[in-house]
Amino acid sequence: MESDHLSPIPAVPVPLPMRKHNKRTMGSIVVRALFIIIGALIVSVALELFLVPNKITDGGITGISVISFYLSGWPLGIFLFLFNLPFLIIGYKQIGKTFAFSTLLGITVMSIGTAILHPVDPFVKDTLLAFVFGGILLGLGTGMVIRFGGSLDGTEIVAILVSRKTPFSVGEIIMFINLFILLSAGFVLQWESALFSLLAYYIAFKTIDIVVDGLNESKSVWIISEQIDEIGEAILHRLGRGVTYLSGEGGFSGDPKKVIFCVITRLEEAKLKDIVNHFDENAFLAVGYIHDVKGGRFKKKAIH
């Protein structure tokens, strides 16, 4: 082929999809930062207007900071920032800069927020109301920060790193650290305050689960049955959930097996079990929790 038959290659401008992608990325960063700031401010309110004035503390670095505040009288925000700073450096080097910067933003806002709110009179002076609503707000704010990729406590970074080299999980390490801190609070404050702190920590812990995972937890379902096609069709049409058919083999019999895999919400579990039992009461059914679901055709439905 002659070279003069070749068309010159035109200059190609920067493709539009790339610019859209960059815009979405910037938008996601702004949204992430906004929710981290809101979450950190909610935690500031929980600490300064509910928990700390009633001598109720939290676990982790926040708990150590509250104890240090009572011992020294220095502003709580100073301890929150300084005690978390070494763990931020460790997190930047070992876990990633996105997590470290998100955590730095949250801790900075929380520290400033506590300093601004410190002169404000507490909302409630009843200890019972303080630990209940303070614990809820603490869990709400902390869960919001965690959900958007940050953290408000350096002990979580320590737990992640320690879990890599020990047989203990992140949750077990955090629980051990927090029990030690709450026990120490009993000596510094009062044992009654330490017990209220433990209750507030439990409420916060449960609230974090709700915020991070949501009320509609997702569940994975595995079904093995002789009526697999009928069950799959019923799930598709009655539940409106997509199903995936997998090929398997019985370990004992060696017979080929057809397996259904699908993802449902917690509120759909009972209906799915009814469908399976209707077609095959002896079907094998396994249901497990899923931390997160993304992609495919799965969407959590609004409950009316």
Q: Which fold does the domain 218-290 belong to in CATH?
A: Alpha-Beta Plaits (3.30.70)
Kindly state the average pLDDT of the residues 76-84: 93
pTM over 0.85: no
What type of residue sits at position 234? A
pLDDT in tens, 34-65: 999 999 999 999 999 999 998 888 888 998 99
pLDDT in tens, 274-285: 999 999 999 999
**Contact between 45 and 109 (Cβ < 8 Å):** no
In the three-class reduction of DSSP (H, G, I as helix; E, B as strand; rest coil), residue 285 is classed as strand
What gap in Å lies between CA 65 and CA 182, rounded to an integer?
A: 12
pLDDT in tens, 146-203: 888 888 888 877 777 787 788 877 667 777 888 888 888 888 778 888 888 888 888 9
pLDDT in tens, 117-131: 999 988 888 888 998
pLDDT in tens, 263-275: 987 778 889 999 9
pLDDT at 295 over 80: no
Say if strands 256-265 and 218-224 run parallel, antiparallel, or are unpaired: antiparallel
SS3 content of the chain, % helix, strand, coil (to 5): 65, 10, 25
Note the pLDDT of residue 253: 77
Query: Within the chain, what is the greatest distance between any pair of CA atoms?
Result: 93
Closest CA to 196 of 135, 147, 120: 135
Q: Where are the domains of the chain?
A: 17-213, 218-290
